[in-house]
Each structure stands twice: as C-alpha cells, then as structure tokens.
Structure 1
Amino acid sequence: MTEQVMAAIDGSQFSEGVCDYAAWASLALDAPLTFLHVVDNHPQTAEADLSGNIGLGSREHLLEELSHLDEQRAKVAQEQGRLMLKAAKERAVEDGVAEPGSRQRNGTLVETIAELEDEIRLLVVGKRGETAHQDSEHLGSNLERVVRSLHRPILMVPDAFKTPERVMIAFDGSKTTRKGVELLASSPLFKGIPCHVVIVGAETGDNRSQLDWALATLREAGHEAEGAIRAGDVEETLRAYKEEQDIDLVVMGAYGHSRIRQLLVGSTTTSVLRRATIPVLLLR
C-alpha cells in the first residue's frame, strides 16, 4: 500500500490553503495526493428536535417529514462534497500534481482518519472546519481530536499558501523531537530550506550539547542551520523567535520530556495552534 499525502477538505475558508499546501507536499515528497471529504450526518450544530412540542395528532406526520428532510440534507451534503472534491482536484492539477485522487466517506473525520491511518504519510488539515466559529483564535474540536488520535505527521495550515522558506523546530532533546530533527535533515519536503532549532530552557551543558547535535545533524545533511537556547514561557518564546527570524513553518513534537510536553496534553499547544498564522507540522 502506497502511503500518500491526504488532505481533509470541507466548506471552510481554510480549504484553499489545504489544497495548495497538500499539492506542495505531494510534489516535494513525490507521493500521491488524495483529497478526503467526510459527510458527518450528525454535525455538532444539528438543529434541535422540536417533535416533542407538537400535538399528538400530527406527531407521526412530523417525524416522517423530519426523516425526509434528514435524507435530503444528506444528499445535498454529499453533492456539495463531490463538487468540493472536484474543485480541489482541479486546483491541485493547476499546482502541478498530475493525478490527484479523492474519497468521500460518511461518518466523522476522526473515525475516518483512524481507518485510513495506514495509508497516510502526511495529513494536511485546516485550522478550523466549516462548523467552527470564525473567531481567528478558535481551534476546531475535530482538529484537536485528530491530533490526539493519529500517529502520523499532521500539517495544520492557514487559509493562504506561501512557499516555506525558513523552518523552525521546537526542540527539547526528547526522542520525538530528535526524530523531528532527523526528519528535517532527510525529508525532501525541506530540501534547501534553512532550519532553525530552538530550545526553550536554561543555558545548561545538556541543552548546549543537544543543540550542537541538532545543528550538526542538519548541517551534515546540507542545510543551513542555526539555533538558540532561550529561557521563558514556551509559547511566547517560540512566537518571539518566529517573528524575529521571519519563520514560515514550525515543526513540533507531540510529546516531549520537558515543558514542551504540555504542547499536546495541556493548554500550551492548544494556544500555539490557536494563534498560529503559519503552518505547524506536528510529529508523533
């Protein structure tokens, strides 16, 4: 089974960004691209069931009508999904992908992604889904659940594409982030892109040796690489470094042994993801 770049699209404002970043990743990785649309027949924003408010005489008729409406809604949602998938494939072809594929499934995004996990090399998702509130710092609940359940790299993207020119990895010396450095060094996705390694913590001998290892690994693979050890709040420190160095893609490990561990099990990562205006690649 060929692992592929899988891009989850819906009717949200992020779908165009998802299409373009997925096409970029597919071309860089020389991996097939498949667009995925999941029709959730029980969305969280489902209309309230008002059947209990109607007199007994008309209740059965009302339930029949509601059932018919549900069927119609499902058909409309499927047709909308088919049109979105068609448009996404056309956009990917314009971006240079030869033969993008598409899949439409019924169910929930989290369950569908879990079923397809073995086929996924990289999952590309938007910051929010179409049912999410449009607050700029809102993070779709689907995304949070997908991040916690999927054991594949996840690229969370903004609504507009920009070719990454400088990448930063939040590094803490953990097994996951060491693998992240090795991935940065070897992946065609980052070929020729300068890499920055940031450790949030004290200037200790251990942190310095971890940083030296990371920089040496990247430089041996032919990357321009620089790094820093900075004390402070994890999120604020990473954000400040990102702005200073004009970083346009951040790589983070899902779990680590230091405060960065909180990034996907506590409030810090949710905050990082909420406020992200550039792509964030999450590693497991």
Structure 2
Amino acid sequence: MKNVFACIDGSKAAEAVCDAAAWVSQRVDRQLVLLHVLDKSIYPTKTDMSGNLKLGTREHLLDELAELDAKRSKLALEAGKEQLKVAVERVKSQGVETPETRQRHGHFVETLADLQEETRILVIGRQGEEHDNVDEIGGNLESVIRSLSCRILITPPNFKPPEKVLLAYDASETAKKVLYIISRSPLFKGVPIHLLMVGEKSDKNQQQLEEAKKQLEGEGHEGVVAALKSGEVESTLLSYVKEQELGMVIMGAYGHSRIRQFLVGSTTTNLLRQSPVPILLMRQ
C-alpha cells in the first residue's frame, strides 16, 4: 500500500508540511512517513582535499579535515533526528497516531525518486532551509516537480485544511483523468470544488464544464461550482482563488492545452511563488 510522504527539514515551512501531511494521510487513510534527507550536496560524506594540498603540507591536515567531515555529518544527522522528533509530536497533535520516520543520506531528488513506487502523495514545502529568507521557491522544488511522476502537494509556510478548492480544468485527456481521480478520492469528499476553465467563452467550453460538474456531482460531491474565465492563465487562476477564498489549487501536470504550456513553462515558478494556498500537482 502506498504511503503519504512528508519532507521534513529545518525550514519555516516544516510545520506547514507536517500539518498538510497529517491532513492528507487522515483523509485518504494511508500511513504517514516523515522523511528527512541528508543531501550529499549540502552534507558530503567526505571532503577530498588531497588535490588542493601543496607539497610540504603535513599529513595531519588531511586527518583533521576527515575528522571535521565526520563531526559535521554527525551533527547534521543528529539535527535531522531532532527535526523528525519534533515532526512526530506535531503530526500526533493533529491526530496521526503512528507516524513512521525515515532518514536517508543521498541526493534529495534521487532519494525521492527511489521512493516513488511507495508514494501516494508527496508533501513538500515551497521553500526549504536554503531559501527561508528569500522570496522564491526552494532550489530543489523545480527539479522535484520535473523529475517525479507521483502526486505532489506543495505548501506555503502556513497550512490550514481547505474549506473550498479549485480544480483547474481544460477538458484535455489529462484533465479528464484528474477529474476522474479527484471525483472518487476521499481527499476532497465533503469539500466544495470549484471547476475553473480558462479559455474562450463558447458553448463548447461551457458544455464541457457542465459535463465535468455532473461527473463530480454523480460521485456525491455537493456545492460544485463551474466557472469559465477568459484571460491569462496565471493571473486568472490567482484572481479566482482570491475572489472565491479558496484553500487549495489542484492541477494536472500534463496535457496539450494552455494549462500544459503554463505548467511546463517559466510561469510555473511564478504561480508557486505567488500562490497563497497549497498546490496539488497531479502527475499520474
């Protein structure tokens, strides 16, 4: 059975990741795994300085460097264990009774890729430790989005369970697949869904929206709202989220429409940076 994985680090977003992951795991009734990765690019297992040491350098310098590396790795390991301990207490306070913890040493994205087969939803903060004080997304996030095929929930520094959500819909095959999954998933049962299509205001688009709305209603979803808006995708989505006070955005990551171009282009970064609410990317 696939699990909900939460990426834990020392960033300001760590608490939001815990809260979001706890909410998800309880909604879908799956095991919550709190994951801490000692990224090799930040905490190398060994520093090879032998090529930089000139003739006459004493052998003990190499020994001291090795000792410093060992201490640094040990401190990073202990810090990670402490972060996981705090995360366990946080998710337990949110109602998760038996969270699992894992700690890995390796490249962050590669580690997540190795765990894909047992991942139902990956929960990750918009900004990691390296970008806590910078108004941009974390350095690893774009690589995660482009490299992984699992579903990814990206949360800003604050999270609260959504009372209403936005499903970006364009009637593409991918959007229909996402609609199918969302309509049957327990994740949003009882949560009103707003279907938003950004495109030409035509009878065809309106009909496609109404069909999607009926599909959600046929699976027991109540309070479904269908909206057709023209304009630029990014700004239209963000404006609609603000106007309707929505708590999460759901989007498919593949397709052949304007939304696909939006997701795989540079505006992905802009939406992630500007969105005041979590974004769930449906990669499969």
Pair 1:115-2:77 in alignment: no
The TM-score normalised by the length of structure 2 is 0.92
Q: What's 2:202 paired with?
A: 204
Following the alignment from structure 1 to structure 2, what is the Cα–Cα distance between the partners of residues 75 and 188?
Answer: 41
- 4+ long deviations beyond 6 Å: 48-54
Q: What's 1:169 paired with?
A: 167
- How far does residue 54 in structure 1 lie from its aligned partner after superposition? 6.7
Following the alignment from structure 2 to structure 1, what is the Cα–Cα distance between the partners of residues 64 and 41?
Answer: 17
Pair 1:126-2:155 in alignment: no
Give the secondary structure class of the aligned counterpart of 2:129.
coil
Please, which moves more after superposition, 272-281 or 50-59? 50-59
Following the alignment from structure 2 to structure 1, what is the Cα–Cα distance between the partners of residues 133 and 43?
Answer: 15
Q: What's 2:192 paired with?
A: 194
CA deviations over 1:113-164 (Å, ceiling 9, x no partner): 111111001100000111226223x111211111111111100012222111
- How far does residue 57 in structure 1 lie from its aligned partner after superposition? 2.4
- How far does residue 167 in structure 1 lie from its aligned partner after superposition? 0.3
Following the alignment from structure 1 to structure 2, what is the Cα–Cα distance between the partners of residues 269 and 174?
Answer: 19
- How far does residue 94 in structure 1 lie from its aligned partner after superposition? 1.2
Q: What's 1:103 paired with?
A: 102
Query: Number of paired residues?
Result: 281
- How far does residue 49 in structure 1 lie from its aligned partner after superposition? 9.1
Q: What's 2:149 paired with?
A: 151
The TM-score normalised by the length of structure 1 is 0.92
Q: Indicate the percent of aligned positions where both proteins have the same amino acid.
A: 49
CA deviations over 1:21-54 (Å, ceiling 9, x no partner): 1001111111110000000132299xx9998887
Q: What's 1:213 paired with?
A: 211
Q: Which ranges in structure 2 are unaligned for 5 or more consecutive residues?
A: none
CA deviations over 1:185-235 (Å, ceiling 9, x no partner): 221111111110111110123312221121111111222111211111100
Please, which moves more after superposition, 31-40 or 217-226? 217-226
| Alignment RMSD (CA, Å) | 2.1
Pair 1:8-2:7 in alignment: yes
Q: What's 1:43 paired with?
A: 42
Q: What's 2:139 paired with?
A: 141
Q: What's 1:62 paired with?
A: 61
Pair 1:254-2:233 in alignment: no
Any conservation in 1 of the 2:155–2:278 contact (CA below 8 Å)? Answer: yes
CA deviations over 1:226-255 (Å, ceiling 9, x no partner): 121111110000011111100110001112
Q: 1:4 to 1:134 in 2, by over 3 A?
A: same
Any conservation in 1 of the 2:11–2:132 contact (CA below 8 Å)? Answer: no
Q: Which ranges in structure 1 are unaligned for 5 or more consecutive residues?
A: none
